[in-house]
């Protein structure tokens, strides 16, 4: 199952985490660990998002709704071992 590591615009941290969770759910994706992450920059947060394996997730629409400024497609170690790529 593919994943995306994304940097996106932030707002108050707890409120933004809730927004990201809701946006993911509406787009057939899942906010991993139900958590967003922060570094020293106050304007952005990071999240690992699991994309629906059924192909229902429109990644472009998801990125737009999240206001994503960076997106890195990823696969798990098992998927990599099986020859899959993001």
Residue 86 domain flag: no
| Tokens read off for 25 | 């759910």
**What is the reported pLDDT for 53?**
59
**What is the reported pLDDT for 1?**
66
User: Which residues, including other chains, have CB under 8 Å from residue 16's CB and lie 6 or more apart?
Assistant: 10, 36, 45
**What is the reported pLDDT for 85?**
87
**What is the reported pLDDT for 50?**
94
CATH, residue 40: 3.30.70
**What is the reported pLDDT for 48?**
96
Residue 44 domain flag: yes
* Domain span including residue 20: 3-81
Into how many domains does the chain fold? 1
**What is the reported pLDDT for 71?**
95
**What is the reported pLDDT for 35?**
94
- List, run by run, the mean pLDDT of 10-residue segments along the chain (86 residues): 90 92 94 92 89 83 94 92 91
């Amino acid at each position: 199952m593919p994943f995306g590591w994304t940097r996106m615009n932030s707002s108050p941290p707890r409120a933004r985490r809730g927004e990201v969770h809701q946006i993911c759910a509406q787009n057939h994706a899942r906010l991993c660990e139900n958590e967003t992450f922060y570094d020293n920059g106050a304007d952005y947060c990071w999240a690992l998002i699991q994309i629906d394996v059924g192909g229902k997730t429109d990644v472009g629409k998801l990125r737009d709704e999240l206001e994503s400024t960076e997106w890195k497609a990823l696969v798990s170690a098992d998927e990599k071992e099986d020859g899959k790529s993001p």
